[in-house]
A and B are shown apart, each in its own frame.
With several copies, the nearest count.
Chain A
């Protein structure tokens, strides 16, 4: 299982703050997981579209599309940050 977290605008438009999913067969990277989520269609396809400035953190560190995923990981999706 991996834990998926959604923050800010993504949390609102996707309609949930978090979920637990089995890492799908063939999904080994952030890019692969994002592509798999996009296939859910609707808001998922729209909000996670490649043109959208979505940031991803794996185990609370900023990640790149090629960052590897493993069972037990915490993967967070969020818009560019706006604190301070």
Chain B
């Protein structure tokens, strides 16, 4: 189980390869990449700054991954989340999960993303045409997380 918070970009393909290789029990790898879009809530976005709570962030992500491991029969998982200044098309987050069968890998990967969105202490501040603004939490993200209760 790997959790990293970093300013540098990541190589999603290399991370997935590292997670899956040399383990012949693995039949499924589900993964997710989140990217910066150039538009949000109807405003064009030139870039964003991702702030986080060092120390708590890593603990929160590790706890989410542990919970996924408790709920599903998964072999490995990697979560990488970037902080700092990002621009449209930049990678924000990678979540990848391995398991024997695809159902577990898909569920655990989506669960980790839904919980990360509502539990891990990250905050986005966008640069828009109308100035800088803190992104508001979305009700749809709370709903997505509640599906797993």
Contact = CB atoms under 8 A, between A and B. Distances in A.
Chains A and B touch (C-beta atoms under 8 A apart) = yes
A8 to B, nearest CB: 4
B113 interface: yes
Contacts, number: 74
A7 B59 contact: no
Interface residues of A, number: 17
Contacts of A32: none
Interface in B109-148: 113, 116-125, 134-138
Nearest to B118: A81
B92 A84 contact: yes
Nearest to B113: A84
B56 interface: yes
A62 B52 CA distance: 14
A3 to B, nearest CB: 12
Given A81-B117, A81-B119, A5 B53 contact: yes
